[in-house]
A and B are shown apart, each in its own frame.
Chain A
Amino acid sequence: MTKQDQQLARQLFSLSLVGGNLSTEHVGAVLQYLEKHPPARPVAVLRAYQRLVRAEYAKGQAVIEHAGPIADSLVQSIATLMARRYGRPVSGVARDNPGLLAGLRVRVGDDVYESSVAQQLAGLSL
């Protein structure tokens, strides 16, 4: 991927934001534009664009990994807590992960909050 591809992907990404948040309509419009006016290396530009959108999307989502059952109210309260912490709307998504043994792992964007038995065991083995 060239610098020009990356720069174009970044420009398209900034056009996909409304008030600092990702807009589904704008993303659709950007994709339509790219279909009509394909750049020199469309795959590279789309890959770079996808990466930026994915990273932005992850910032608005709290992926809550858990071992065993988890109440919807807990998912909701974690999402609210994260929204307050990051000062932006955050939705909660629960994902079962038996590898944690017990406890939770919450991922918001690049940040991971973890309190699980698996993590503590890994700490002991160090």
Chain B
Amino acid sequence: MSTVLEQIEQQIAKLSSKAVRKNTGVIRTVADGVAKIDGLSDVMYNEMVSFPGGAIGIALNLEQDEVGCVVLGDVSRLKEGDEVQTTGKLLSVPVGKGLLGRVVDALGAPVDGKGPITATESYPVEKIAPGIVVRKSVSQPLFTGIMAIDSMIPIGRGQRELIIGDRGTGKTTIAIDTIINQAKINKVGLASGDPKFRPVYSIYVAVGQKNSNIVRTIGALEAAGALEYTVIVAAPAADNPANQYLAPYSGAAIGEWFMENGMDALIVYDDLSKHAVAYRQISLILKRPSGREAYPGDVFYLHSRLLERSARLDGKGSLTALPIIETLAGDVSAYIPTNVISITDGQIFLETDLFNQGIRPAVSVGLSVSRVGSSAQIKATKQVGGKLKGELAQFRELAAFAQFGSDLDAKTKSQLDRGSRIVELFKQPAFNPIPIEQQVVTLWAMQKGFYDSLDLKGVTAASVALREFFATRKDAVLAEIRTKAALDKDLEEKIKGGVEEWKASFSA
């Protein structure tokens, strides 16, 4: 009843005879989604302006005689001389749990045909990143479910870890795997009823991608049961550059809501190279001075202000960012890649050569790094995988030398053999994240030499069989690893017993 009364009250307010003041302007030119407007003397930077026909624009260039606005919507109906009005509002998007499982556009409007979104709050798209005082250092792990990453390049809640590589090297797959793994952990954690469990909600921002790719991603998430914990912000290649420019900020606003309300969230920006290209297009049309590779001078700020919004807040939640950058011919020293590398807390570098050799995920261990380091790892992973990075680096060095000569001493041969086994062990199919407790068992068996007697090509299959054995028959041991998060003598004995039991059955 009260809602009905409020609606009538609003209607009365609309009919009130009080004069309304509007600041107006007139369109001088419209080109490529950018309108130049005379007037609008009171407009604020980044303010929403209203065009005839319901289209919305954002004032991006406030010049002496004119205002440059990007139009978010259909520009085909706009013409010279049309009146434009200020709204007095900054652009904002709906936020909250009502968006989970939904696909929205850069303005937060649903595009999945599942009806309107039930969101009671909205957050501004552009927001100043949290300051120094409110932040807390990253110390809680965020498991990707990818063994090579969780053991050697760990990611923490609130961290910004760049995924970088050429096209077709599996960048999106790593991000999707991570989202799927969060959903799996959420399901187990929420079912356990542990009051301390903190679920991670995911936001996937697709910028400048083909619609078919976005559909495939949605399908993969849906098939893995991860969509219910995920919000997808889509600004496909067919969208205008203004929407592509805004989408990551809208996604960040959606993620900030989770962070500000004491929850943990993960945001994937796929990808920031296309985002920079969209911004370059807008800037060139706005006639802003161009710099290196025709990008505007503030292209660094474009990404730094976005990625700085990811943080772990003291007494609140966290927002972890996985930005993706596409390189050309493995050139990480290009303009946008170096910018984003310097902003983030580490990078996962994917190599085409490794991918073509069948090493998937094609993570280059030498070039990948996590600046947060082992503080974002559980003790059990440190215990079983602490030396892995060094061992693999040594293997790569020796492998390069081994190509030139056949006379190798026994020690070198054993190091090469071990390295090849580690490489085989880290091979993992797409959309199949491995729970951390299973990773611990797999790596423990490797450290203790349980795969040494096996044929090199059989290592991957053996590790899969080991994990299946533990998942079906040693669930209690896995649960103990999960809860203790560290290996003591007693637990190691249990793992040893389990692995020996598996070895006997596997060999037989």
Contacts and interface: CB of A to CB of B under 8 A. Distances in A.
A85 B488 CA distance: 79
Contacts of B19: 104, 113-115
Contacts of A123: 14-15
A110 B25 contact: yes
Interface residues of B, number: 19
B262 interface: no
B22 A112 contact: yes
Interface in A38-89: 48, 51-52, 55
Interface centre among B20, B39, B40 (most CB of A within 10 A): B20
Interface in A110-126: 110-115, 119-120, 123-124
Interface string B1-38: 00000000001001101111111110000000000001
A104 B21 CA distance: 12
Nearest to B28: A51
Given A10-B65, A110-B41, A115 B20 contact: yes
A50 to B, nearest CB: 11
A110 B11 contact: no
> When A and B form their complex, which 3 residue pairs have the shortest distance between CB atoms, in order from nearest?
A115-B19, A110-B39, A123-B14
A52 B65 contact: yes
A107 B20 CA distance: 12
Contact of A10 (B15, B41, B64): B64
A55 B20 CA distance: 22
A110 B23 contact: yes
A6 interface: yes
B461 to A, nearest CB: 63
A103 B19 CA distance: 10
Interface in B265-315: none
B87 to A, nearest CB: 12
Contacts of A107: 24
A109 B41 contact: yes
Nearest to B20: A114
A113 to B, nearest CB: 5
A124 to B, nearest CB: 6
Given A10-B64, A124-B14, A113 B20 contact: yes
B42 interface: yes
A119 B25 contact: no
A60 to B, nearest CB: 14
Contact of A111 (B15, B23, B38, B65): B23
A115 B21 contact: no
Contacts of A119: 20
A120 B15 contact: yes
A55 B64 CA distance: 12
Contacts of B41: 109-110
A113 B11 CA distance: 20
Contacts of B42: 110-111
Nearest to B19: A115
A30 to B, nearest CB: 17
Given A10-B64, A112-B22, 17 more contacts: A6-B65, A51-B38, A110-B24, A110-B41, A110-B42, A111-B42, A112-B21, A112-B23, A112-B24, A113-B21, A115-B18, A115-B20, A119-B20, A120-B14, A120-B15, A123-B15, A124-B15
